[in-house]
Amino acid sequence: MEEFRYISLFKFQKVPIYAHWSLCIIMLFVVVLSFQYSFIFVSVISILAIMLIHELGHLLLANKLGLKTYRINLYLIHASCERHLSNSEYENHLVAWGGVLAQAVVFVPSLLFFHIFINDLPDYLLISLFFLGHVSLLTALFNLLPLPYFDGSSCWKALPLFFKKKYYKKM
């Protein structure tokens, strides 16, 4: 029953990526609106790209630690990455860094490109770079706040565990 609520998009490193039905309906509206307002289409695709890049970051870091990711779900304003939890508390908190790190890999060059080529690039590319740069940086910072449901509620806990591991290794 669960599967009827999602549309399968593609696979990344054998992990299926799904879009929730609510997102698909909104995308239909966006496509219709984009005939008149193309910036809406570019903006929405850029936001989806940020969400996907974020979740792929979790996936790649989980893979690196040997933790299996089952699926990635894209919703209207958020996404989720379902994965196997490690027995190690440190590894679980470390995977929480994957999302913002992947965003940083994209927002740093996007910010640079935006400001260097602001007078030379067409509008649709500038809009896209604005989202992948400025908006992505803001959402990454917001996501690092130590609040429930945010990565910040988990990722910062990796730091003391990292130094604890290092300390015990030395002994």
Interaction site with Zn ion (CB under 5 A): 99, 151
Closest distance to Zn ion from the beta carbon of 119 (Å): 35
**Dist. CA 72–CA 131, nearest whole Å:** 21
DSSP state of 127: H
Terminal Cα distance for the chain, rounded: 53
**Dist. CA 159–CA 171, nearest whole Å:** 19
Closest distance to Zn ion from the beta carbon of 36 (Å): 34
Closest distance to Zn ion from the beta carbon of 145 (Å): 12
Closest distance to Zn ion from the beta carbon of 88 (Å): 19
Which alpha helices (H) appear in the chain, and where do they start and end? 21-34, 38-64, 89-95, 98-116, 123-130, 136-143, 152-155, 158-170
CB nearer to Zn ion: give 91 or 114: 91
CB nearer to Zn ion: give 99 or 133: 99
CB nearer to Zn ion: give 34 or 153: 153
DSSP state of 2: G
Contact in structure between 144 and 170 (CB atoms under 8 Å): no
CB nearer to Zn ion: give 42 or 61: 61
Closest distance to Zn ion from the beta carbon of 167 (Å): 28
Please, what is the Cα angle at 66 between 84 and 95, to 5 degrees?
Answer: 65
CB nearer to Zn ion: give 91 or 151: 151
